Structure 1
Amino acid sequence: SYSRVCTTARRGKVQGNGGGRMGPEDLSEMLAAGTKEVHEKAENTQFVKDFLRGRIRKELFKLGAVALYHTYTAMEEEIERNKDHPQFAPLYFPAELHRHEALAHDLEYFYGPDWKSKISCSQATQHYVDRIHQVGQEDPVLLVAHAYTRYMGDLSGGQVLRKVAQRALKLPPTGEGLEFYQFDAIHSAKAFKQLYRSRMNELELDMAAKKKLVAEAVKAFHFNMEVFEELEEIGKTIQEDVQDAGMSVHGQMGGDISKCPYYTAKMAASGGTAYFGQLVMAALRHPTGQVLFATWFAALAGLAAWYLM
C-alpha cells in the first residue's frame, strides 16, 4: 500500500542513488534531459498558444476527457497484462494511480448515463492507443516511459489546476467532473513521486534500454501534440461563442518565460510558492483560462513540471 511505501521513498532518498543524488545515468535524469527539446516544441504548438490566449470551447474540454479516457484505458490494460514483468512490476501501483475509472465517472457526469454510446476514439488518440498496445505486447519495458509520462504529470502541475477548473466550470464542490485529478490513495504527491522515481532508477536496465525509454517518452510527447492539433482542427468546426481572455503568449510578453504555465508549474512543483500563487491568481483573473487549463493541456502542463523538477 502507499502508506507502507512512503517510508521506503524517504529511506531510498537517503540510501539510494549516492545518498539521494541522482546522476546523469539515472533513468529519471535521462528522461528529463532527453525530452527537453520536444517539451519546448509542445509548448509552442498553435493549440497551446490558443490556450495561453484564453480561448476555449466547452466541447473541447469534454473531448479532451474522452481522449484521456481512451489513452488511460489502453495503458492500464497493458499494465495489468504486464504487472508481473520484472522490469515493470516495481512501478505497479493500481490503487494509487490508475485513472480510467475516474475518467469514466467524469464522462458520465458530462455526457449522462449513456455516455459510452456518445463518445468515440478519435484518429489521433487511436494512434496513441495503438502504440501503447504495441509496446505492451511486444516490448513491455517501454510501458515505463508511458506510465511515467502520464502519471507523474498528473501528480505535478495537473494538481495545481484542479480547484481552478472546478471554479471555472462551476462544478460541485464534492468533485464531480474532476475525478481524474483526485488521487485519494496518495496522501503526499511529493513523497510518492520520490518513491516512483527511486523505483524507476533502480530498475535493472542497461544503457541501451534506458535510451530506448527516452526515445519512447519523446514519442509520447508527439502523440500528445497530435491530439492537440486534432482538437485545434475540431475547434474550427464548432460554432460556439468564445471569450478571449487576452492572455498573451511568449512573444507578446517580450520573451518573459515566467508567463509560461510550464515554467510556473515547474516553480510551484519545486516549492516556489510565489510562482504557485502567480499561476492561481492569473487563472482566477481569466475565467476562460481556468477552463482551458483543466483539459488535456492541464495534464501536459503537469507532465512538463515533473520533467523540469
Structure 2
Amino acid sequence: MDSMASKPREATGSDLSEQIKAATKDVHVRAENTQLMLNYQKGLITQTQYKLLLCSLYEIYRALEDELDRNAAHPAVQPVYFPQELARLEALERDLEHFFGPHWRTRITVPAATHRYTQRLREIGKSSPGLLVAHAYTRYLGDLSGGQVLGKITQKSLGLSGNSGVSFFLFPGVTSPNRFKQLYRSRMNSIELTEQQRRDVLDEATTAFELNIEVFDDLQKLLSITEEASSEKGNDATSKTLSKTFSSSPALQLALAVGITMATVAMGVYAF
C-alpha cells in the first residue's frame, strides 16, 4: 500500500466511495438492525452508557488521528486529510471533561475490543497507511452524516443543555455537510489504486464493521445471561442485579460502550 499512487489507476466500473458503500451494504444492514442500535434511536441511553461510549470513541479517534497525522504526506492519505474540518479528538476531550471533570484522563476505561481496534489502526498506520482511508471514510463521514441526529437524541435522552457533553457530534469546521461529503468523496475517488489495493481497502472497510458486530454479539450474550438470571427474582431484583453487575463487571460495562460505538458507526454510512 505504500506505493499506492505509483501505479496508474485501473478501471473498475465505479468510484471507490461507491464501491465501499456496496461492499459494506450487507454488514451495515446487520449492524443497524441490532437491538442496541434500535434502542439508541428510540432514546434509550443512560448517562453511564454514554460516558463509556465517549471513552471508547476517544481511544479510537486518538489512534486514528495519530496515524493520519503521521501519514499526512502519504499519497493515499493526503487527499482525504482534513484535520481542521473533521478531527474529533479535542471535541471528545471537552465532552470527557464535562462528565468526568478536569482529571478525566485518569478515569478513562478502555474495553478489550476497542483496544483491538486501536491496535489495528496503529498496525496499518505503520505497515499499510493506505488502508487508513477505509477507516477514515467509514468513521468521519458516518459521524458527519448521523451525528446531527444522534446528538439531538443524546441531548434529549440525557437532559443536556446547549452543546455541553455533545461536542463530538458537532462539526463547526464544516459549513455544509452535504457539500463537504461530496468534496471528500471526490478527493477519495482521485486516489490512484491498483486492483489489489482497491480490494484491500474494500476488505478493510468490511473488517471495521465485522469487528464491531463481533463485539456486539458478545455483549448480547452477556446481557442475556444477566437478564435471565434476574428475571427469576422479579423486577426489583432485576434492577439490583443489573446495577450490581454493571458496577462489578468492567467487561460488561466496556462491552456496552463498544456496542454503542458500533451503533454510532452504523448510523451514518448509507448517507454517504
Matches of 1:28 and 1:41, distance apart in 2: 20
Kindly state the Cα deviation for residue 50 of structure 1 after the two structures are TM-superposed: 4.8
Amino acid at match of 2:76: Q
User: Within 2, Cα distance between the matches of 1:55 and 1:172?
Assistant: 18
Q: Return the alpha-carbon distance in structure 1 between the equivalents of residues 51 and 187 of structure 2.
A: 34
- Kindly state the Cα deviation for residue 160 of structure 1 after the two structures are TM-superposed: 2.4
The corresponding residue for 1:239 is 243
Q: When the two structures are superposed, what TM-score results if normalisation uses the length of structure 1?
A: 0.68
Equivalent residue runs for 1:1-309 within 5 Å = 24-51=13-40, 55-173=44-162, 175-229=163-217, 232=220, 236=226, 238-239=242-243, 296=261, 299-307=264-272
- 1:296 partner letter: T
**Corresponding residue SS for 1:155:** helix
Letter paired with 1:202: S
TM-score (norm 2): 0.77
Report deviation, 1:223: 2.5
Equivalent residue pairs, number: 231
What is the alpha-carbon distance in structure 2 between the residues aligned to residue 202 and residue 43 of structure 1? 29
Deviation (angstroms), 1:117: 1.1
User: Contact 2:32 / 2:263 at 8 angstroms: preserved in 1?
Assistant: no
Structure 1: state its 5+ residue gaps. 1-22, 241-291
Give the RMSD, CA atoms, in angstroms: 2.4
In 1, Cα distance between equivalents of 2:270 and 2:18: 14
Per the alignment, do residues 303 and 226 of structure 1 end up closer, same or farther by CA in structure 2, a change over 3 Å counting?
farther
Where in structure 1 do 4 or more consecutive aligned residues deviate above 6 Å?
none
Counterpart of 1:221, as a letter, is F
Structure 2 residue runs without a partner (length 5+): 1-11, 227-240, 245-256
The one-letter code of the counterpart of 2:190 is E
1:230–1:124 CA distance, 2 compared to 1 (3 A): farther
SS of residue in 2 equivalent to 1:159: helix
Greater displacement, 55-64 / 102-111: 55-64
* C-alpha distance in structure 1 between counterparts of 2:94 and 2:221, whole Å: 27
Which whole-Å deviations, capped at 9, do the CAs of 1:136-159 have from their partners, x for residues lacking one? Answer: 000000000000000000110222
State percent identity of aligned pairs. 45
Give the distance between the partners of 2:59 and 2:215, measured in 1 at CA. 12
Q: Distance in 1 between matches of 2:116 and 2:179?
A: 33
Q: Is the 8 A contact 1:90 1:199 kept in 2?
A: yes
Residue 298 (structure 1) shift: 5.5
Deviations 1:171-196 (A, max 9, x none): 121x1100101111110000100000
- Aligned in 2, Cα 1:54/1:196: closer, same or farther, shift over 3 Å? closer
State the AA in 1 paired with 2:17: S
Q: Give the letter aligned to residue 192 of structure 1.
A: F
Amino acid at match of 1:200: M
